Amino acid sequence: MVEFWMRSIEDLGREEVMSIVDKELHGLYTEKYAPTRDLIIYFAPRENIREIIRRLMMFSYTRLSVIVGNDERYFRRDFSLTYIVSFDKQDLYIGVRTYLPEYDLEIASIADMVKAAWWNERENRDLYGIEFIGLKDKRKLVLPEYWPDDAHPWRKDYPYNKPVMDWREGLPDYKPVGRHEDLDVIGLGPYHMINDEPIHWRLYVKGETIVDAEHRGFHNWRGIEKIAEGRLTYNQIPFIAERICGICGFTHATSYVQAVESLAGIDIPDRARYIRSLMLEIERIESHLLWIGIACHILGFDTGFMLSWKIREHIMHLAEVLTGNRKTYGMDIVGGVRRDVLGDRLGKARDSVKKIRYEYRELYNMLINNSILVKRTRGVGVLPRNKAISYGVVGPVARATGLDIDVRRDHSYAAYKELSFDVPVYSEGDVLAITLVRLDEVFESLDLIEQILDALPGGPLAVDVKDIPENKEAVGVVEAPRGEDIHYVRSGLYNKIQRWRVRAPSYANIPPVKEMLIGYRLADAPIIYASVDPCLACTERYLVIDVDTGSKKIMTDDELRAKSRKLSTRIG
């Protein structure tokens, strides 16, 4: 077991930390350069990557954000891997890049050391064919099981609009790798109401207790990044980015747009920055209220569900008035925003905030004084702090385990530097702490909206963008309702991007659910993995397989939820 965060650097400034990192990595890297203000890239041979990541993770408040693979054969005949490590207290991202020639795509895995690399390595293995030596989990992550092993969709010689393979007959099924022959297996999904995308969980249970869990997801993987690289221009991508997620779409659009602005060196007008912050906070309230409603519903507290969604409806009407649509705001464009907040809309926004604050305070009191809700969530689904660091969790899940990270404050963007807000942090790491973080954040967001409406500066909405420079790179980062949403963009030729990597917050928060489930009762499973807030998708049924007889029993969603509700009744 590797110890993380041994060396405390959270009080040091950015320049100081940059020189410490230089000294620490001395001899391991060949050269370095800084593409933008907040991103430094070190070039290193592949043998040193493991050691570099280990040394970087020794500093406090660092985490492995994302591993970006790239096909650079048109520039230098190599594939590249960039390990982007976030230094949260210094507003700094450090990328470690290594080049792998086409005939020798092998690199040592770091997934046994830093769990955050687990999904990233599997994804790069699927999509670029890079082999990670020492990676135990050799299953496909993104692509389906029947996909040929030699077709890698994100290589540049793979066309974006033509299927390389045909649908074959007799598709092989998903085969679990669990070796628990003596245990009962409960499969949840792929269609399940508490995941935003179809995810299949296999829960290995002994009686009522969950012993192990296994995950298979990405049934809805669409390869949006390939479409964007293949045919869309810079200003068309914000609209497809907004459709990555149905709940936090605006954070994706903002994140992408910020990355492009950062690489092109565009300063957007003050008014645009404030309007982006306003919409992001509206989206956060909307998302948190949705989650509170779902959590209440799973625990059998339907009054809370109805009231929470009633409050949410006020904010949806407000968003419709401000942007022209309830959910897909369509406000972002490279260089600014598209719609202004004028006249009577300001008044409407203030009225809505007043209404929401009154109603939400009542709901808040009702929820935290509800003994069943507290008993069902306290001490359930505990994520230990060292595991949270290793998995690189973000957002409310991280803040519930005592990690004081918030991108709004740490990697400040939009107008957040000029606004004042608190970041609620709890240290228990259970579902109750996650719930309380979200409940507190809604109050902060309401405060932020009022501050923004009072301080909205005048001026233009967007600047004219002439040319996006070629072959530059940057990261854009936004605190989504679920945590850090990071986009890596590299610009290419002919007004197109060369590489776009989206790491949504749930990508970091879903893998640790495996750890959170173990040791708790089956009836706690829905609330545990609803607690990391994977978005909502509707479900049909669950499949229960009895291992001894091999018989299958169909268990409907209502039955499992009834089980969860029955537990609430018993506690109450």
Contact residues for other proteins, defined by CB under 8 A: 232, 235-236, 239-240, 243, 310, 313-314, 317, 320-325, 328, 330, 338, 345, 355, 358-359, 362, 366
Name the residue among 420, 448, 425 with its Cα closest to residue 438: 425
How far is residue 222's CA from residue 219's CA, in Å, rounded to a whole number? 9
Contact predicate 192/539, CB 8 Å = yes
For the CB of residue 496, give the shortest distance to other proteins in the complex, in Å: 14
Closer Cβ to other proteins, 99 or 239, answer by number:
239
3-state secondary structure 381-419: CCCCHHHHHHHCCCHHHHHHCCCCCCHHHHCCCCCHHHC
Least distance in angstroms from the C-beta of 238 to other proteins: 8
DSSP for residue 457: -
In the complex, least distance from residue 325 CB atom to other proteins, rounded to whole angstroms:
6
Helices (H), 265-384: 270-298, 302-323, 344-368, 371-377
CB of 236 to other proteins, least distance (A): 4
* Residue with Cβ nearer other proteins (22 or 320): 320
Shortest separation between residue 568's beta carbon and other proteins, angstroms: 20
Shortest Å, Cβ 221 to other proteins? 20
Question: Least distance in Å: CB of 557 to other proteins?
Answer: 24
Residues composing the chain: 572
Q: Which is nearer to other proteins, 238 or 512 (CB)?
A: 238
Query: Is there a contact between 96 and 44 (Cβ–Cβ < 8 Å)?
Result: yes
Minimum distance from residue 314 beta carbon to other proteins (Å) = 7
- Whole-angstrom distance, CA of residue 485 vs CA of residue 483: 6
Residue closer to other proteins by CB (options 10, 359) is 359
The nearer residue to other proteins, 363 or 393, going by C-beta atoms, is 363
Peptide bond into 481 cis (omega under 30): no
Q: Given the complex with other proteins, which of 327 and 385 has the nearer CB atom?
A: 327
Please, which residues bridge with residue 64 across strands? 85
Distance between CA 26 and CA 172 in Å, rounded?
49
Rounded to a whole number of angstroms, the minimum distance from the CB of residue 362 to other proteins is: 5
Please give the Cα distance from 182 to 178 (Å, whole number): 11
Task: Give the containing element (helix H, strand E) for 57.
Answer: helix 49-57
Which burial class, exposed, middle or buried, applies to 76 when counting CB atoms under 10 A from its CB (0-12, 13-18, 19+)? exposed
Question: Cis bond leading into 460, ω under 30°?
Answer: no
Token readout for 121 is: 């390595």
Q: Which is nearer to other proteins, 248 or 513 (CB)?
A: 248
Nearer to other proteins, 264 or 311 (CB): 311
Nearer residue to other proteins within complex by CB, 211 or 240: 240
Angstrom distance (rounded) from CA 393 to CA 408: 16
3-state secondary structure (DSSP) of residue 99: strand
Question: Which residues, other chains included, contact 494 with Cβ-Cβ below 8 Å and sequence gap of 6+?
Answer: none
Cβ closest to other proteins, residue 125 vs residue 276: 276
Q: Are 339 and 323 in contact (CB under 8 A)?
A: yes
Supply the minimum distance, in Å, between the C-beta of residue 290 and other proteins.
14
- Partnered with residue 318 across adjacent β-strands are none
For residues 67 and 259, which CB has a smaller minimum distance to other proteins in the complex? 259
Nearer to other proteins, 239 or 443 (CB): 239
| Residue placing its CB nearer to other proteins in the complex, 107 or 318 | 318
Question: Shortest approach of other proteins to residue 311 CB, angstroms?
Answer: 9
Strand 200-206 to 209-216 pairing: antiparallel
Q: Count of CB atoms within 10 A of residue 3's CB?
A: 9
- Report in angstroms how near the CB of residue 250 gets to other proteins at its nearest: 13
Only one residue has tokens 């069943």, namely: 372
What is the spatial distance between Cα 26 and Cα 32, in angstroms, rounded to a whole number?
11
Host H or E run for residue 131: strand 131-133
CB of 132 to other proteins, least distance (A): 36
Strand-pairing partners, residue 40, are 94
